[in-house]
């Protein structure tokens, strides 16, 4: 029996590695921000692991903090 990949991981991989959303931003929970979230450009992502979004600067963001993805026009492309 193979392990089923998580929905968040699967969707992020499609968006990031699919190449159709190079100007998109990923919305993640950030309790230090007054808005409660921050936006991370897709091109700042190094890779997506089973549990983390790994940024090029080495920052690890747990996938459970990902809220969604917006395109360059601010439209929601994907949300949890």
Does 28 fall in a domain? yes
Does 67 fall in a domain? yes
Neighbours of 26 (CB within 10 A): 27
- pLDDT tens per residue across span 14-49: 988 888 888 999 999 999 988 899 999 999 999 999
Banded pLDDT at 2 (limits 50, 70, 90) = very low
Does 65 fall in a domain? yes
Domain that holds residue 31: 7-79
Does 2 fall in a domain? no
45 in Cβ contact with 56 (< 8 Å) = yes
Does 1 fall in a domain? no
d(CA 42, CA 21): 8
Banded pLDDT at 1 (limits 50, 70, 90) = very low
pLDDT of residue 4: 52
Does 72 fall in a domain? yes
Count the domains in the chain: 1
Does 17 fall in a domain? yes
Neighbours of 7 (CB within 10 A): 10
Does 60 fall in a domain? yes
């Amino acid at each position: 029996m193979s392990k089923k990949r998580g929905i968040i991981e699967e969707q992020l991989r499609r968006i990031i590695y699919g190449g159709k959303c190079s100007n998109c931003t990923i919305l993640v929970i950030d309790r230090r921000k007054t808005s409660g979230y921050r936006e991370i450009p897709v091109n700042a992502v190094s890779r997506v692991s089973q549990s983390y979004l790994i940024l090029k600067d080495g920052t690890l963001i747990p996938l459970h903090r990902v809220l969604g993805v917006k395109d360059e026009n601010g439209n929601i492309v994907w949300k949890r």
